[in-house]
A and B are shown apart, each in its own frame.
Chain A
């Protein structure tokens, strides 16, 4: 009797706690801001994007425009800041959409954050260094055909899909992907032209497809905390895997195991171009497949 009464009170307490959080959704004031800038002889563009919540799309735009952005956000909850600086032909574009400090996130229930978006088109005519920080963002990036020289992507609790639909028109020395509690999918990384790829994930699934145009050698470092990593590499590419994992299953069919936690593809000695993968992780699984 006493136990059932206690259970009833516990349920009532949970009801009080949960009920206290379910306040009505706040009104939203949506604003659309679009900006575009003509290409006028700029020989470099440094792009930095910070985006808190919403959907983010990035792709190649018309060559005569240096950049074009189209954003939609709730001006009661977020602030947009865009700065463009140019000196001696080198441009710097900073786009920042962050939450207002006084936003009452207790009203988060029913808040339509996904209705906000940021679309960014970049010119393929100017070399680009791209740095992006995402919060709770659903991101779709097609970086194909750009003149990408450097790439950094940091995500929080986001779902990020990166695609290099066309080969990079420049050489990217480093490409860094840092995923927090997030899903990250990168497709046709071979087109990225990245000589050094660094991928780290906290919690979540990572899917890496290294297909594309390989006319160079590259190294990739993949570090995962918790979660699964699925890697696909083209058959013609020579691949060497250096594994350093703890409580992680590892499955690499078709690879030859060597000493010291090293696996190599059968064509490692003969392939025209090579990819060295350094994989480390704590808990989860790693699957590597040949395409």
Chain B
């Protein structure tokens, strides 16, 4: 019974999947639907997508020549075969494979690459013969060259490998689905996988691709040469084809996703959900799609690597505790570096432009709301003004000065906010006038204010080390730190604009002599005076003695 079943499967597949042998391929040769070429530094590949849903893939990579994933020979990197192959693909990309093929066929390639060359010619040539027999002008010439190549291929020992690939074992994923090569994975539900993937940020993509449908079983076919769901067969799963080429003639009770492959939907097919293409091609030849036929661009494929034992390894990058601590320390170091840099710049500004800085700082303190709105307006208008300057050619030359001036103004504003924050902090931390007087200088204000502005980043860096426990707090702190930074920068910029870089006090706190609480101050200073007198008297007595 099983033998009959296997025979039936083999016959069915033989009908569905054309062999690349020269004799049989003639019929299928004009059925190339799509040609895909990839040329990069270390990989070159050609893929022919056929009308029956199957594809032929030839790839040269790491010294190996692979046809449909099977090694059929080796090539010398930079050698004759690779050079001719790259020329072929380059020309085919610019024009057509049929026109570029004779050049590849006519290139003489000696051992040890002859076997691999013959295998490539034997696998591709027959598909091009009939295609070029149509409208192409040089049809006869091309066909004869291809026939010659096919004969050569037949004589070569590597052809055996090609035959083996063509008749590779057909596996059955169920009693009725047919899969050639590749790997089939069945998941009872995707929700758990989605939860796991959410930690690495892939869940939204998965949900998007499956159209939010995460409940129920899903069948995933990976890297298969062909997947066939014959007519009359019902698949009560959702179906995901990854780097596979499929034909659906039966019924699928759910969404069908094709990622980096191709799918043909036969007239007898019925798909109850959506058909989603992710960097793929889908051809509906008249089947019924109850949902929508749609495409999803830029899906980051899950890195699935089938091993020799056909197990799945899903590469998930989960940072270790050590790397988290290192990351947190790095963030802390960056925050400290920022503090040092701004402290240095702040010191310079205080030393050189203390008056200007104090006016801007006073403007922020006295007219914070107005400063913030002015800064916001400045940020919004920055680009349009720049564009106007660019359009009016006379002012275009001033654009670099405009940009640098704006940046310097923003820096002055940020430091002024730090100054104002430091000044307020000092007043609150040291209610004692004597203590406050000792700290009444702009250097102290700026350093303290910068500490306040950057403190949230430092705390966030510490929580980053404990991310599994305090992830929410880290995210909250980072968001708060950036919002605080933006608010401070905006208000500082606005204050710098309102005060004309600290030259006008229109919106600053008016100059006034502080009403010193003299009595309190005298009381606070009295012990200091007493101590000074005592020291003075003690000194006189010692002199006398």
A contacts, CB < 8 Å to B: 2, 5-6, 9-10, 13-14, 17, 29-38, 40, 50, 62, 64-65, 68, 70, 75, 79, 81-88, 92, 94, 96, 98, 181, 203, 226-227, 283-284
Knowing A6-B353, A62-B96, A81-B297, say if A32 contacts B33 (CB, 8 Å): no
Given contacts A83-B279, A83-B281, contact A36 B293 (CB under 8 A): no
Q: Does B70 contact A (CB under 8 A)?
A: no
Jot down 22 A-B pairs with beta carbons below 8 A, ordered by A. A14-B408, A17-B404, A17-B407, A29-B40, A29-B41, A31-B40, A32-B37, A32-B89, A32-B93, A33-B36, A33-B39, A34-B89, A36-B34, A64-B134, A65-B96, A81-B299, A83-B277, A84-B281, A85-B284, A87-B289, A98-B298, A181-B387
B221 to chain A, nearest CB (A): 19
B92 contacts the other chain (CB 8 A): yes
B282 adjacent to A94 (CB under 8 Å): no
B353 touches A36 (CB 8 A): no
Which among A13, A14, A75, A85 has the greatest number of chain B C-beta atoms within 10 A? A85
How does the 8 Å CB contact mask read for B333-352 relative to A, with 1 for contact and 0 for none?
00000000000010010001
In the bound complex, residues from chain B placing their C-beta under 8 Å from that of A14 are 404, 408
Chain B 279-301 against A: per-residue CB contact (8 Å), 1 yes, 0 no? 11111101001000111111100
In the complex, what distance in Å separates the CA atom of A96 from the CA atom of B135? 32
The distance from the CB of A263 to the nearest CB of chain B, in whole angstroms, is: 25
Which residues of chain B from 439 to 460 have a CB within 8 Å of any chain A CB? none
Residues of chain A with a CB closer than 8 A to B388's CB: 226
Q: Please determine whether A84 and B282 come into contact, CB atoms closer than 8 angstroms.
A: yes
Q: Determine if A96 and B36 form an interchain contact, defined as CB atoms under 8 angstroms apart.
A: no
Decide yes or no whether B505 CB sits under 8 A from chain A.
no
Q: Do the beta carbons of A70 and B94 come within 8 Å of each other?
A: yes
Say yes or no: B295 contacts A203, CB within 8 Å: no
- CA–CA, A88 to B388, complex, Å? 51
Give complex CA distance A50, B33 in Å: 24
Say how far A152's CB is from chain B's closest CB, in angstroms. Answer: 17
Q: Which residues of A contact B286 (CB under 8 A)?
A: 88
Output the residue of B135, B283, B407 with the most chain A CB within 10 A: B283
> Across chains A and B, which 5 residue pairs bring their CB atoms closest together, nearest first?
A34-B93, A87-B284, A83-B295, A84-B281, A31-B40
**A40: B residues at CB distance < 8 A:** 33, 51
CA gap between A227 and B39 in the complex, in Å:
42
- State whether B391 touches A227 (Cβ < 8 A): yes
The CA of A30 and the CA of B43, in the complex, are separated in Å by 11
Q: Complex Cα distance A88/B287, Å?
A: 9
Complex contact A86–B92 (CB within 8 A): no
C-alpha gap A17/B410 in the complex (Å): 13
A10 → chain B closest CB, angstroms? 7
Least CB distance, A175 to chain B, in whole angstroms: 24
Chain A CB within 10 A, most for which of B38, B278, B280, B298: B298
Contacts of A68 in B (CB 8 A): 96
> Is the C-beta of B32 less than 8 angstroms from some C-beta in chain A?
yes
Residues in chain A near residue B92, CB distance under 8 A: 34
Measured CA separation A284–B390 after assembly (Å): 13
State in angstroms the CA–CA spacing of A14 and B89 once bound together.
49
Q: Residues of B contacting A32 with CB < 8 Å?
A: 37-40, 89-90, 93
Tell which of A70, A81, A98 touches B279, judged by Cβ atoms closer than 8 Å.
Answer: A81
Contacts of B279 in A (CB 8 A): 81-83
| B268 lies within 8 A of chain A by Cβ | no
Q: Is the CB of A30 within 8 A of B41?
A: yes
Q: Are A13 and B345 in contact (CB under 8 A)?
A: yes
Q: In the bound complex, how far is the Cα of B41 from the Cα of A2, in angstroms?
A: 58
Q: Return B265 CB to nearest CB of chain A, in Å.
A: 8
Q: A85, B293: Cβ atoms under 8 Å?
A: yes
Q: Across the interface, which residues of A come within 8 angstroms of B97, CB to CB?
A: 36
